[in-house]
């Protein structure tokens, strides 16, 4: 089977003049090597395609693949993660991970939370700031937390995003609006323990493979899983395997979110407890990072005894099962 690989290589964008934070979600060569190496060990013939522009050129030139292993994040727009799947679906080429609807929905954090809330899954109360005057209408109790609507990898997040006053809220929202050119999600800050949960599979076959607690060390920016904390996680964060009732609740909430939103093959779900210890959905990443040592999903899989090659095998098996079933229409729970 010929498997194409779509991705965004960070070095390509840095060479084009983009900055470190702008390219934070893009992959290092080690990630591409690891994914391709695992696929080859599993017996697949691989072909590196790269980003969406390369994919478009090759499709027009007549290139085709039996399946594409896609983890391209995209550069611009709320639908950036859906751009590669949209092209592949237009040409009838199956791919790993979620479809255009799910990838667009999940990246729009407020829309995703509205669906999650409708499914009855706990999530913090929130508001959306599209223009700075929207701050005046927010009536949520402090402390609050503000973040760009459609970013990942901690982009736009520092300790200043935890907000205690109306003045801080206005200042931070104005900064985020100006810098990231997108709406700001403002939600109730949860003071409890934070977990990220790995999910493998699709629909009724999906399972939570583990919950990993995020422990902030003395060197970390306090209380927030920020851009700096993620980039320098080896010095700032301890990743501890979650155990006990709270970890089981985290896995239950994460699995309900994955299935309810219609995610395919794998995802990583961030959850956090409130002051009473009740777990809430924060956000979902249906294109979880795949660096073997640096990304959360492979780290937590390793903690639970799932080797990297087994992770890639599980993703491929889930995708191929869908291909065999001719991508029958799915209906999300609700």
Return the axis-axis angle of helices 308-324 and 29-41, rounded to nearest 10°: 70
Q: Provide the pLDDT for residue 242.
A: 94
Give the distance between the most distant pair of CA atoms in the chain.
58
Q: Provide the pLDDT for residue 328.
A: 47
Q: Is the pLDDT of residue 321 over 90?
A: yes
Q: Provide the pLDDT for residue 332.
A: 44
CA 131 to chain centre: 26
Q: Provide the pLDDT for residue 329.
A: 45
Q: Is the pLDDT of residue 28 over 80?
A: yes
Q: Which domains occur in the chain, in start order?
A: 2-95 (3.40.50), 125-188 (3.30.1490.20), 194-324 (3.30.470.20)
Beta strands in the chain (DSSP E): 2-6, 45-50, 67-70, 126-129, 144-148, 162-163, 184-188, 194-200, 207-216, 237-241, 266-273, 279-285
Determine the Cα angle at 9 with ends 308 and 28, to 5°: 45
Mean pLDDT estimate for the chain: 93
Measured between alpha carbons, how far is 300 from 286 in angstroms, rounded to an integer?
16
Contact between 286 and 106 under an 8 Å Cβ cutoff? The reply is: yes
Q: For the residues 298-310, what does the mean pLDDT come to?
A: 96
Q: Express as a percent the part of the chain with pLDDT over 70.
A: 97
Tens of pLDDT, residue by residue over 222-273, are: 778 877 877 778 888 899 999 999 999 999 999 999 999 999 999 999 999 9
- What torsion do the CA atoms of 315, 321, 325, 328 make, to the nearest 10 degrees? -30
CB count within 10 Å of CB 137 equals 8
Q: Is the pLDDT of residue 33 over 90?
A: yes
Tens of pLDDT, residue by residue over 100-120, are: 999 999 999 999 999 999 999
- Between 124 and 232, where is the model more confident? 124
Determine the Cα angle at 17 with ends 4 and 224, to 5°: 80
Q: Provide the pLDDT for residue 331.
A: 43
Contact between 71 and 48 under an 8 Å Cβ cutoff? The reply is: no
Which of 307, 209, 295, 298 minimizes the C-alpha distance to 251?
209
Q: Provide the pLDDT for residue 22.
A: 81
């Amino acid at each position: 089977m010929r498997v194409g690989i779509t991705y965004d290589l960070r070095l390509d964008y840095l060479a084009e003049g983009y900055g470190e934070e702008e390219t934070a979600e893009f992959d290092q060569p080690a990630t591409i090597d690891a994914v391709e190496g695992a696929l080859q060990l599993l017996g697949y013939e691989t072909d590196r395609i790269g980003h969406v522009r390369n994919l478009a050129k090759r499709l027009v030139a007549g290139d085709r693949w039996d399946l594409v292993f896609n983890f391209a994040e995209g550069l611009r727009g709320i639908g950036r993660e859906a751009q590669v799947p949209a092209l592949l679906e237009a040409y009838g080429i199956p791919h790993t991970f979620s479809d255009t609807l799910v990838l667009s929905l999940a990246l729009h954090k407020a829309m995703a939370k509205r669906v999650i809330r409708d499914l009855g899954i706990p999530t913090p109360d929130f508001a959306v700031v599209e223009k700075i005057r929207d701050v005046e209408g927010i009536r949520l109790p402090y402390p609050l937390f503000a973040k760009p609507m459609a970013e990942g990898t901690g982009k736009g997040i520092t300790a200043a995003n935890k907000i205690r006053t109306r003045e801080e809220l206005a200042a931070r929202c104005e900064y985020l609006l100006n810098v990231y050119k997108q709406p700001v999600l403002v939600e109730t800050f949860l003071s409890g323990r934070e977990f990220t949960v790995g999910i493998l599979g699709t629909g009724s076959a999906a399972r939570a493979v583990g919950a990993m607690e995020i422990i902030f060390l003395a060197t970390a920016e306090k209380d927030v899983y920020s851009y700096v904390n993620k980039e320098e996680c080896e010095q700032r964060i301890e990743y501890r395997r979650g155990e006990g009732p709270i970890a089981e609740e985290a896995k239950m909430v994460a699995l309900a979110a994955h299935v309810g939103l219609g995610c395919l093959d794998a995802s990583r779900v961030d959850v956090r407890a409130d002051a009473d210890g009740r777990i809430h959905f924060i956000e979902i990443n249906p294109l979880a990072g795949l660096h073997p040592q640096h990304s959360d999903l492979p780290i937590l899989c390793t903690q639970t005894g799932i080797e990297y090659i087994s992770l890639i095998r599980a993703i491929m098996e889930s995708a191929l099962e869908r291909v065999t079933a001719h991508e029958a229409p799915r209906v999300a729970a609700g």
